[in-house]
Amino acid sequence: MAPITVNEMTVLALFEPSGYPESLVDELRNAGVREDAVEVLSPLPLHEAALLRPARVPLHRIAIIAGLLGIGLGVMVAAGTALLYPIVTGGKPIVAPPVVGIIAFEMMMLVAIVTTFAAMLIRLRSESRNATERDPRIDDGLIEVVLSLTHDSARLEAVQALLQRAGALEIRYRHPTLSAPHGAEREGQATAAVLVATSLLCGVEACSRDMQEQPSYQPQEAPRLHSPVGSVSRDNRSVLKPLSTQQVFDEGARLFRINCSHCHGRDGTGNGPVVAYLKEPPADLLAPDVQALSEEALYDTVTNGLAIEGRDVMPPFKGEMSAEQRRSVVAYVKSLSQP
Amino acid sequence: MEQEKRRWEQIPKINQDLLAPLLTTHWTYFLLVGVLVCLVAAGAGAWTYQVQTGIGQTNMHPPIFWAVYIASFIFWVGASHSGTFISGVLRLSKAEWRRPVTRIAELMTFISLMIATLFVFYHLGRVWRWYYLIPYPNQRELWPNFRSPLMWDAIAVFTYATASTIYLYLPLIPDFALLRERIDGWRRPLYRVLSFGWTGTQNQWHVLETALRIITPLIVMVMVSVHSIVGWDFGVSLVPAWHSTIFAPYFVVGAVHSGVGLVAIGLYVLRKIYHLESYITPEHFDKIGKLLVVTTLVLAYLYFAELLTIWYANIPDHMWVVDALLSGPFAVPFWFMATCIYIIPLATLTSPAFRRWPLGVMIVGVLINIGMYIERVLILVPPLSYPRLPFNWGSYFPSWVEMTIIVGSLALAVLLYALAVKVVPVISIWEEKEGLVHGAHHGK
């Protein structure tokens, strides 16, 4: 639609449908009114096509193209993602043509229908007249003819005479500038509001999910960082209990022989029988840096094993030994440096 | 000319009659809404309880892992075929009598699909993880398996729901424009948005009619595909009495059967309450009745073909199920179902006089829907009850949680319909006017 300039003018004429002359559009054309300046508003589709040539709408073509795109989308989803995320099921192909066919069919329909609908809405909007031009009496069975004319008094009079001759019940004139295009500004605001609300909602995605996904320690998980020297585990305060009784020491020695000595050696110097097969030599437990570790740190290593730069060098023993047993092993290791 | 003038002069009366349900509300309407809200609340409570305490609140346990929730899902998807079949097929065939029926049926489609979707969620354990079902690249490295018929189902139902919403909305646009000018209050802004700048120019009519002409055949095809795929959920499995090629067409026809039955109920109730006798005439019930005779015959034929094949093959695994249905523990519901969906419709609707009796057609519609619901349960439960190894045979009856949820959902459907009646005209006003003015050319 051409932009409305100040010297344009709208003429609204109401007709009884039964008295509406089918030749009106032709007569108006003869009077010098452009065909695209004439609109006929009616409460139901008027199939007497003599009124106006309907605009050509490429909806069919849009539907077909959208349908083809939909097929592509369906193939991409059903075949493409099956290749990307292959799930092997006994005796079944990763890409199954009948399945791709079914999904492609549904996608074709979905995309074709939604696109046709969207195209139709856009077209409806562009064909819309200012709502204030629409006389409510149309819905009670009248037909309204809307003419957009340039402000030319001689032509206006001619058109008015023509309309009256054709049997118009009522003729009104409106200056488009007097009523600003209704709601255009508010619609803009509404669209902006929706966009802002959507982007705010997207921001929710960035919110912390600590409550939902906590950094809990999972079974079989590789060990995390050691606790700092001197720190006390919440669950194992008792580790600091004096552990120097002979009984505990003997138990620790026994368990050390069973669980540790094949790598760390009977004497703990790291010369066990399997050392030749290990990539990382086991630690010498008598070395000052090991002996400098707190009981808590040793306990943590025995419990969770040890990883250096992401490679597991010592397995965890929490499955092999109870907390009590592990403590006794720690006590034994600590005692190794004592003469 | 004189005749045409008279026809145009009836238009204000159409406005008046068809806008009346939106403008005036009887106190019994609020009573109905109140009762329905209570039932819906009961259903919501039962669901909350089930979510909190686990899916074990249902009576589903191995080997019966699908039961009334899935049966209700199938039933409601089937019920949604009302709108698309009646409205789509009749629009395609340019049947004049469709005009007062289409909107009523399309609203049913829209609402039934919402209810059907709910049943998928009722059926999910740990429903709060439902988004795992959506295909999107995620850190869980989970991707739906598109070879699963359940995935086809999800896509088909989504397509169908989207398409039928559009299909409901398209012919509503000119009516929303009318309502925008006739109704004040809280609804006006809604209508202003929904009428989408409709003013009724000839180009707009042309665009709308073109879009309807394109979308109608598409949605009819989607309708057929949707319930075929629901049928394949069963047909492609190896469970005895499910593994059958007839399931897809059988499901589609069954869906249309119950859908048309629902339309008969809707037509009767709305006609009675809103005094639409001059729009919905015995003529319409006659046509609906004829359609029901067709669907009854086709459905009975497919059912017979299915049973005959199983019976003649006499494979033990399959015969356990058929025997349980015909003369075993499921015989009572089976024969009740057969009476409701085959015998009664055939005995009554084949009589022209009966078909012109609205109350009668409505009652048959109710019986068909009860029967079809039982039929959905009978498709699910007996085959699952008799797996191939007899030590594992089981039985099932819904728990109170399941029954409350089902009743609550039915109430929700009725409630949504009751609320919709106050927002959209139940009969398409412009199509009724079009029929009045142009219908004569088609020999109405």
Mean pLDDT in residue range A124-140: 76
Could you tell me which chain A residue has the CA closest to the CA of B433? Answer: A44
Contacts of B12 in chain A (CB under 8 A): 140-141
**Chain segment A136-155, per-residue pLDDT in tens:** 788 887 888 887 777 677 77
Measured between beta carbons, the chain A residues lying within 8 angstroms of B15 are 139-140
pLDDT at A48: 59
- Specify whether the CB–CB gap between A259 and A321 falls below 8 A: yes
**B207–A110: do the CB atoms touch at under 8 Å?**
no
Out of A6-15, A57-66, B250-259, which region has the weakest mean confidence (pLDDT)? A6-15
Mean pLDDT of B93-108: 87
ipTM of predicted assembly, 2 dp:
0.90
Mutate to test the interface with A, among B215, B232, B233, B441 (most CBs of A within 10 A): B215
Percent of chain A scoring above 90 in pLDDT: 12
d(CA B37, CA B34): 5
Q: Which strand (E) or helix (H) includes residue A157?
A: helix A153-165
Rounded Cα distance, A46 and A25, in Å: 14
**Distance (Å, whole) CA B88 – CA A74:** 25
Are A244 and A331 in contact, with CB atoms under 8 Å apart? yes
Of B146, B204, B215, the CB nearest to A116: B215
- The confidence band for A30, taking pLDDT boundaries of 50, 70 and 90, is confident
Mean pLDDT of all residues in chain B? 88
Confidence band of A216 (pLDDT split at 50, 70, 90): low
Range of weakest confidence among B114-118, B353-357, B417-421, B430-434: B430-434
3 state DSSP class of B314: coil
Give me A25's structure tokens.
Answer: 């559009």
| Mean pLDDT for the stretch of residues A16-40 | 73
DSSP A175: -
Instruction: Name residues whose C-beta falls within 8 Å of residue B210's C-beta, 6 or more positions apart in sequence.
Output: A57, A59, A60, A120
Per-chain mean pLDDT for chain A: 78
Q: Pick from A54, A89, A140: which is nearest to B15 by CB?
A: A140
Minimum CA–CA partner of B189 in chain A: A183
Is the minimum CB–CB distance between A42 and chain B shorter than 8 Å?
A: yes
Report pLDDT for B198: 85
Instruction: Please tell me whether residue B61 adopts helix, strand or coil conformation.
Output: strand
For residue B11, count CB atoms less than 10 angstroms from its CB and return exposed for 0-12, middle for 13-18, buried for 19 or more: buried
A:B CB pairs within 8 Å = 183
A187 touching B (Cβ < 8 Å) = no
State the Cα–Cα distance between residues B210 and B431, nearest whole angstrom. 15
For B224-281, the pLDDT digits (tens) are 999 899 999 899 888 888 888 899 999 999 999 999 999 999 999 999 888 888 888 8
Question: Quick one: average pLDDT of B13-29?
Answer: 84
Averaged pLDDT for residues B298-316: 91
Split at pLDDT 50, 70, 90, the class of B4 is confident
Tell me the average pLDDT across A29-36: 73
Q: How far is CA B203 from CA A55, A141, B186, in A?
A: 6, 18, 30
Q: Which of A209-218, A231-240, B131-140, B253-262 has the lowest mean pLDDT?
A: A231-240
- pLDDT at residue B126 is higher than 90: no
Q: Which residues of A146-155 are buried (b: 16+ CB within 10 A; e: fewer)?
A: bbbbeeeeee
CA distance A115 to chain B (A): 10
The CA distance from B263 to B112, in Å, is: 12
Cross-chain Cβ contact A124/B204 below 8 Å? yes
Q: Where are the domains of chain B?
A: 2-25+60-127+145-396+424-442, 31-58+398-421
- The per-residue pLDDT for range B46-76, each reduced to its tens digit, is 999 999 998 888 888 888 888 899 999 999 9
Do the Cβ atoms of B96 and B442 come closer than 8 Å?
yes
**Terminal alpha carbon distance of chain B:** 17
- Structural domains for chain A: 8-55+127-180 (3.30.70), 59-122 (no CATH), 237-335 (1.10.760.10)
Least confident piece of the model among A325-334, B6-15, B70-79, B121-130: B6-15
Q: What is the pLDDT of residues B331-371, one digit of tens each?
A: 999 999 999 999 999 999 999 999 999 999 999 999 999 99
3-state secondary structure B160-205: HHHHHHHHHHHHHHHHHHHHHHHCCCCHHHHHHHHCCCCCCEHHHH
pLDDT exceeds cutoff 70 at A180: no
Asked if residues B432 and B101 have their Cβ atoms less than 8 Å apart, the reply is: no
Amino acid type, A276? A
Whether residue A129 and residue B201 make contact (CB cut-off 8 A), yes or no, is yes
Whether residue B145 lies within 8 A of chain A, CB to CB, comes out as yes
**Looking at the complex, does the CB of residue B223 fall below 8 Å from at least one CB of chain A?**
no
A112 touches chain B (CB under 8 A): yes
Flag whether residue A154 sits within 8 Å of chain B, measured between CB atoms: no
Average pLDDT in the B380-402 region?
87
Structure tokens at B264: 């008969």
- A71: part of which helix (H) or strand (E)? helix A59-75
Mean pLDDT in residue range B93-121: 89
Better-predicted residue by pLDDT, B160 or A214: B160
pLDDT for res B136? 76
Provide CB contacts within 8 A for A69, sequence distance 6+: A111, A115
Q: Do B222 and A113 touch (CB under 8 A)?
A: yes
Closest CB to B147 among A46, A89, A139:
A89
Percent above pLDDT 70 for chain B: 98
Question: Taking 60 as the threshold, does the pLDDT of residue A181 lie above it?
Answer: no
CA dist., res. A292 & res. A101, Å (int):
69
* Residue A10, beta-bridge partner list: A148, A174
Task: Please say if the pLDDT value at position B168 is more than 80.
Answer: yes
> CA-CA distance, B59 to B381, in Å (whole number)?
12
Instruction: Give the pLDDT of residue A123.
Output: 85
The answer on pLDDT for B372 being more than 90 is yes
Q: Mind telling me how many Å the CA of B258 is from chain A's nearest CA?
A: 24
Alpha carbon distance A173, A156 (integer Å): 10
The winner for highest mean pLDDT among A89-103, B272-286, B296-310 is: B296-310
Answer yes or no: do B8 and A141 touch at CB < 8 A: yes
Query: Where does residue A295 rank: exposed (0-12), middle (13-18), buried (19+ CB within 10 A)?
Result: middle
CATH superfamily of the B2-25+60-127+145-396+424-442 domain: Formate dehydrogenase/DMSO reductase domain (1.20.1630.10)
In the predicted model, what is the mean pLDDT of residues A280-293? 87
Weakest-pLDDT range from A244-248, B10-14, B164-168, B250-254: A244-248
pLDDT at A179: 47
Q: What is the mean pLDDT of residues A239-261?
A: 78
